[in-house]
Amino acid sequence: MLDFDMIVLLVDDDEKFTSGLSTFLEKFNIATIVEHRISSAEKQIRKMDFDAVLLDVMMPEGNGFDFLQIIRRICDVPVIMLTALDEDEELINGLDLGADDYITKPFNAKELVARLHAINRRYSASRYNKITTHDDMELFNNQLLIKVGESEIKLTGVESNIIYQLLNAKDRCLTRDFLYGHVLKRELSPQDRSLDVHISNLRKKLGPHPTKGSRIIAIRGKGYALK
């Protein structure tokens, strides 16, 4: 395991699928530990540090969304949801619960590799970024933590990187294309609502400014900015 670039926990009950995906990922120097049940996957999360978790939505003993909430109580490891569902509400639910990204089956395995590398770069960078401050907010990227006034708020890796970009932009607007490229590390597509959901979650976590209202505003046809 020490010679691999990443170690990933793959949680999916389809043995044929996991075997094939594990073999493919090894070609890109990504090691996988496979678990087919939530109970055994939880034991792995508690005893090992992973670079990412690939988590199927439909699982024995419950579903991936239930397990995602358990993962978030244990650690802040990046999680990519694997789902055959195409309903927006299901995908949004995963992001609301703390997933960093999702990919819909069937997917291009090379795209998954690209997303794993992107999420690993974001997570690794967040460990070393300096403290960033603006107004009454103080972001500690290395801890995935932001202080708003006297309140301390935990963030996911994606949320931390979004607010990091916005804090450094000060009052300037950041386009959706910029945020997709610099945070999610992929191009914006018409069907991809990931950024909007992450922004919505950030608004809820940060709460309104004491005098300015919503802290993150959407500028029609342009993107997002701090108020």
Half-sphere exposure of 147 (CA within 13 A, CB side): 9
154 with 103, same domain? Answer: no
C-alpha separations of 91 from 3, 6, 79, 96 in Å: 34, 25, 13, 9
The pLDDT, as a whole number, for residue 13 is 92
Q: Indicate if the alpha-carbon torsion angle 70, 61, 117, 170 is positive or negative.
A: negative
Q: pTM for the complete prediction?
A: 0.63
Peptide bond into 106 cis (omega under 30): yes
Task: Pick out the chain residues at pLDDT < 50.
Answer: 1
Tell me if 217 sits within 8 A of 171, measured CB to CB. Answer: no
The pLDDT, as a whole number, for residue 27 is 94
The verdict on residue 103 lying in a domain is yes
Where are the extended beta strands (E) located within 30-119?
30-35, 52-56, 58-59, 62-63, 79-83, 101-104
The pLDDT, as a whole number, for residue 93 is 77
The pLDDT, as a whole number, for residue 85 is 66
The pLDDT, as a whole number, for residue 56 is 92
- Tens-place pLDDT, residues 158-188: 898 899 889 888 778 999 988 988 888 788 8
The CATH number of the domain where 216 resides is what? 1.10.10.10
The verdict on residue 160 lying in a domain is yes
DSSP reduced 3-state for 60: coil
The verdict on residue 1 lying in a domain is no
60 with 45, same domain? Answer: yes
66 with 135, same domain? Answer: no
C-alpha separations of 163 from 113, 138, 169, 196 in Å: 25, 10, 10, 13
Given 107, 124, 141, which residue is the final one in a domain? 124
Q: How many residues does the chain have?
A: 227
Domain range spanning residue 113?
Answer: 6-124
Burial class for 191, CB neighbours closer than 10 Å (0-12, 13-18, 19+): exposed
15 with 117, same domain? Answer: yes
The verdict on residue 11 lying in a domain is yes
- Tens-place pLDDT, residues 9-43: 999 999 999 999 999 999 999 999 999 999 999 99
Query: Number of structural domains, the chain?
Result: 2
The residues, ordered by sequence, that sit 6+ positions from 43 with a Cβ below 8 Å of its Cβ are none
The verdict on residue 120 lying in a domain is yes
Given 94, 124, 154, which residue is the final one in a domain? 124
The CATH number of the domain where 11 resides is what? 3.40.50.2300
135 with 193, same domain? Answer: yes
The verdict on residue 90 lying in a domain is yes
Q: Residue 158 corresponds to which tokens in the numbers above?
A: 């994606």
The pLDDT, as a whole number, for residue 133 is 81
105 with 131, same domain? Answer: no
172 with 106, same domain? Answer: no
The pLDDT, as a whole number, for residue 215 is 92
102 with 13, same domain? Answer: yes
Given 83, 102, 124, which residue is the final one in a domain? 124
Distance CA 189, CA 211 (A): 35
The verdict on residue 208 lying in a domain is yes
DSSP reduced 3-state for 113: helix
120 with 195, same domain? Answer: no
C-alpha separations of 7 from 50, 177, 202 in Å: 6, 30, 28
21 with 39, same domain? Answer: yes
17 with 95, same domain? Answer: yes
The verdict on residue 21 lying in a domain is yes
119 with 132, same domain? Answer: no
The pLDDT, as a whole number, for residue 86 is 64
